[in-house]
Chains A and B, each alone.
Chain A
Amino acid sequence: MQEFRVLMGHDTPGYASIGVYRDHGGYEALRKALHQMTPTEVTDEVYWSGLRGRGGAGFCTGMKWRFIDRSSPVPKYVVVNADEGEPGTFKDRFIMEHVPHRVIEGILIACHAVGAAKAYIYLRGELALCRERLLTAIEEARRAGLLGASVLGSDFDVDIALHRGAGAYICGEETALLDSLEGRRAQPRLKPPFPAQAGLYGCPTVVNNIETLANVPLIVEHGAEWYRSVGAPNPAVDAAARTGGPPSGFGPDSPGTRVFSVSGKLNNPGVFEVPMGTPMSALFGLAGGLREGLELRAVIPGGSSAPMIGPEHFEIPLTFQTLADAGSMLGSGAVVFIDDQTCPVDLALNLVEFYEHESCGKCTPCREGGQWMRKVIQRIAHGQCREGDLELVRHVSDGIKGKCFCALGESIPAPVNSSLALFPEHWQYHIEHGSCPIGAKEYSHVG
């Protein structure tokens, strides 16, 4: 039931090395892009494929590339977001470790498309094996003439450098990432201007996720129609193919596959690549279901910033639109199944602690709101609830929502509000009895 595209070859021995990757047709897409296609044709192909960003926001990739003014005399940059840190997400790590050359090939094609001579991979500091694999892949590509001056005999010169992060979730936010890459404390920038207009060093910059870029060689090699042959594409886009009509890569358009990170108390958790639109229940099945004696209570469908949804959504096809309609989001593709032995108050506390710890401190609602929210939920979780604490949680949540500088702060209420909505009796029990109805242990490492 898996459909390996991005992960194609991940189970072939030696696929992380350039020899085996090339034996299986690796870097032929780059050759095609350089010798048979203009940069505009490459960008158009990616646009018409409907590929959407896999980092979280799901923005149309080809559209993002089109925003780059290739005629501008200043340098252009491709910046690769490899800062994977959204709780529940581990697919980019898997991609970098297993198919690093597909990532490098995607970066090189992106550079060609937008006219960049330099790409930076911003890699999360903790991911040592990814660092090793990527550095090796870059060196191998350089020695094979795929990187450097006159790539594959063309007039395309390009270089890739790896920049190691040092522990800060906010660096995943693209403008904070750019500040970090410029040697600053990582705090998000005011938008507009967007990175496509003024990004790294004030120059036009494309920021893309690892999985997004790993899709690119496949699109260039096989074409947009092939790409759209699986998943949940919007048929109206296909009908109007390249002649106007609805935009590709927006709204109900979710073509291609998605690499999901699936975790929770499951028999077979892990990374699974399935067509977009696969029902959540099928993903649950691939992950072997919950371990014996456990019952499903809720699902976090797209990383910690995506509100939890109830088991009534168990059959939901996983697309950008369906999850938005269900009040959540596909986000980073991290699906966490929550069982009946997990305390939903503790879960909310755990994630609020995460956001509190990771707030960059730039804006008050996030910096102060996160801390305040954590303190109140800690009281409720630990049997020290005060009169009016539940109202206070709602009040603080309202004080955060819509008032933060970036999406980090905006995410704080997601786990709290969804936990409150799905498990009101559980919260009430904590408040009234000062203990957990399922006897979960009290833990907390802050305060």
Chain B
Amino acid sequence: MLSDELRGEIRALLDQYEEPRSALMPAFWLAQQSDGHLAAEAISEIAEIVGVDPGYASGVASFYTMYHLRPVGRHVIQVCKTLSCRMAGAEDILEHLKAKLGINLGETTPDGAFSLCTSECLASCGTAPVMLVDDDLYENLTPERVDEILAQLGG
């Protein structure tokens, strides 16, 4: 169930746009920020507020990779694996993270602290290799730097 406060925020979004359907994506963001992921029930409730079919709404949600349709760890790590990061050793960073966290891509650590995935170019190719942890960008990564970051985040 979306909280009353959240429902209010979503209704307020409708004024931003000529057509209410445009509020779907920002509403998904609000729900995900409050819940950690975007649950099927949240999508249905948002669909109702926005005035679209719930099946349509989940079709939109599933198109975009940043909406987590299933629960994820408290921190989501996305390692850029594209072109410049690949040339700068992104694969070594990934291997290091997998070993350190004991998980594969798409998995979450048993304590629920970290989920690990790859990402396409994060628009930071000049400081490759890079990764995002939640909203924060970490640049010029080395395995040692990754260890420091994990320690800071309280792995």
Contact surface of A with B, Cβ cutoff 8 Å: 75, 84-90, 92-93, 124-129, 161, 163-169, 180-186, 200-201, 261-265, 269-271, 300, 304, 334, 336, 338-339, 342, 346-347, 350-351, 354, 357-358, 360, 441, 443, 445
Contacts and interface: CB of A to CB of B under 8 A. Distances in A.
Given A90-B126, A347-B83, A85 B64 contact: no
A86 B121 contact: yes
Interface string B42-70: 00000000101000000110011111000
16 contacts: A88-B83, A90-B123, A126-B66, A128-B136, A163-B22, A166-B65, A182-B21, A183-B60, A184-B21, A185-B60, A304-B121, A336-B84, A336-B125, A347-B87, A351-B83, A441-B91
A127 B122 CA distance: 8
B125 A90 contact: yes
Contacts of A183: 19, 21-25, 50, 52, 60
A161 B64 CA distance: 21
B67 to A, nearest CB: 6
Given A89-B123, A182-B22, A445-B118, A304 B65 contact: no
B10 interface: no
Max chain A CB contacts within 10 Å: which of B64, B78, B125, B137?
B125
A323 to B, nearest CB: 18
A292 to B, nearest CB: 15
Contacts of A125: 64, 66
B19 A182 contact: yes
B82 interface: yes
B5 interface: no
B16 interface: yes
Contacts of B136: 128
A336 B123 contact: no
B88 A85 contact: no
Contacts of B67: 166-167
A90 B123 CA distance: 4
Contacts of A263: 83-84, 125-126, 128
B113 interface: no
Contact of A358 (B21, B120, B124): B120
A186 B63 contact: yes
Given A126-B78, A445-B81, 8 more contacts: A87-B121, A161-B16, A165-B66, A166-B25, A167-B66, A180-B25, A262-B126, A265-B88
Contacts of B25: 163-166, 180, 183
B61 to A, nearest CB: 9
Given A166-B28, A167-B65, A87 B82 contact: yes
Contacts of A261: 125-126
Contacts of B23: 183
Given A129-B137, A184-B21, A263-B126, A169 B86 contact: no
B60 A184 contact: yes
A413 to B, nearest CB: 16
A378 to B, nearest CB: 14
A182 B127 CA distance: 34
Contacts of B82: 87, 304, 350-351, 354
B30 to A, nearest CB: 10
Interface of B: 16-19, 21-26, 28-29, 50, 52, 59-60, 63-67, 78, 81-84, 86-88, 91, 105, 118-128, 132, 135-137
Contacts of B84: 87-88, 263-264, 336
A338 B136 CA distance: 28
A85 B121 contact: yes
A184 B22 CA distance: 8
Nearest to B136: A128
A264 B125 CA distance: 8
Contacts of A184: 21, 60
B91 A443 contact: yes
Contact of A270 (B28, B64, B105, B126): B126
A261 B84 CA distance: 11
A408 B78 CA distance: 23
Contacts of B127: 269
Contacts of A161: 16-17
Max chain A CB contacts within 10 Å: which of B22, B83, B136?
B83
Nearest to A346: B86
Given A168-B63, A184-B21, A127 B123 contact: yes
A287 B64 CA distance: 35
Nearest to B16: A161
A167 B125 CA distance: 17
A443 B91 CA distance: 7
A85 B122 CA distance: 7
B26 A164 contact: yes
A351 B78 CA distance: 18
A161 B59 CA distance: 25
A93 B123 contact: yes
Contacts of A84: 123
B48 to A, nearest CB: 14
